[in-house]
Amino acid sequence: MLEIPILGLLSEAPMHGYELRKRLSTLLGAFRAFSYGSLYPSLRRLQEAGWIDEEPPVAEPAGGFGTRSRRGKRVYRLTAEGKEHFAALLAEVGPDAYDDEGFGTRLAFFAQTRSDIRLQILEGRKQRITEQADGLRSSLARTRERLDRYTLQLQEHGLESADREVRWLNELIETERRGPN
């Protein structure tokens, strides 16, 4: 779900759906694509759960100037419960924090995450990708000569990418260990 990214962005400032989407696209870019077809239902679910609510429209009385709250624009903000819930989400680690999407969204809000949790997530992700790389490596060693040129290229590129990510994670982990500020 879009739980973490939505709550995270709203924790910085109230915002409406369209803006939320723009920010999420640039924030997560490569890691996550999503559409209005998932954004608006998510907003409604989060609202039903009580984690976000809508800012009342500015009512725009006669002659009101300067108030640019366009009719139909729904501005969402984090509730107190939402704030708590978001903090709790950032403090828990599970297997879903290690897959592409979960890891990307968590990393995007690492600045608000406790250092020990950051470390756990990085280690878990590293283990996940390492396993993936080793699986590819051994499968490649077994079947290399049976593969055509293109399949081979595909697998080798995948393997190199995985290895590169492990190295990258190692750097992040080391930095984290050095200065858990």
Partner DNA sequence: AACTGATGTATCGTCCTGATATATCGGCGA
Partner DNA sequence: TCGCCGATATATCAGGACGATACATCAGTT
**Interface contacts to its own copies, rule CB under 8 A:** 26-27, 29-31, 104, 107-108, 110-111, 132, 135-136, 139, 143, 148-151, 153-155, 157-158, 160-162, 164-165, 168, 172
Of 14, 23, 12, nearest in space to 57 by CA = 14
Q: From CA 176, how far away is CA 17, in angstroms rounded?
A: 34
Check residue 6 for interaction with DNA (CB under 7 A): no
- Choosing among DNA, its own copies, none, which partner's interface includes residue 34 (Cβ < 5 to 8 Å by kind)? DNA
CB of 19 to DNA, least distance (A): 5
Q: From CA 116, how far away is CA 88, in angstroms rounded?
A: 14
CB of 124 to DNA, least distance (A): 15
Check residue 31 for interaction with DNA (CB under 7 A): no
Q: Report which residue type is found at 172.
A: L
Check residue 50 for interaction with DNA (CB under 7 A): no
- Choosing among DNA, its own copies, none, which partner's interface includes residue 2 (Cβ < 5 to 8 Å by kind)? DNA
Of 119, 126, 127, nearest in space to 176 by CA = 119
CB of 8 to its own copies, least distance (A): 11
Task: Find out whether 5 and 29 touch, Cβ atoms under 8 Å.
Answer: no
CB of 157 to its own copies, least distance (A): 5
To which residue do tokens 């989060």 refer? 46
The DSSP symbol for 116 reads: H
Check residue 72 for interaction with DNA (CB under 7 A): yes
Contacts of 137 (CB under 8 A, 6+ apart): 159
Contact pick of 56, 59, 62, 68 for DNA (by CB under 7 A)? 68
Helix or strand (DSSP H, E) at 16 = strand 15-16
Query: Interface residues with DNA (CB under 7 A)?
Result: 1-2, 16-19, 22, 32-38, 40-43, 45, 68, 70-75, 99
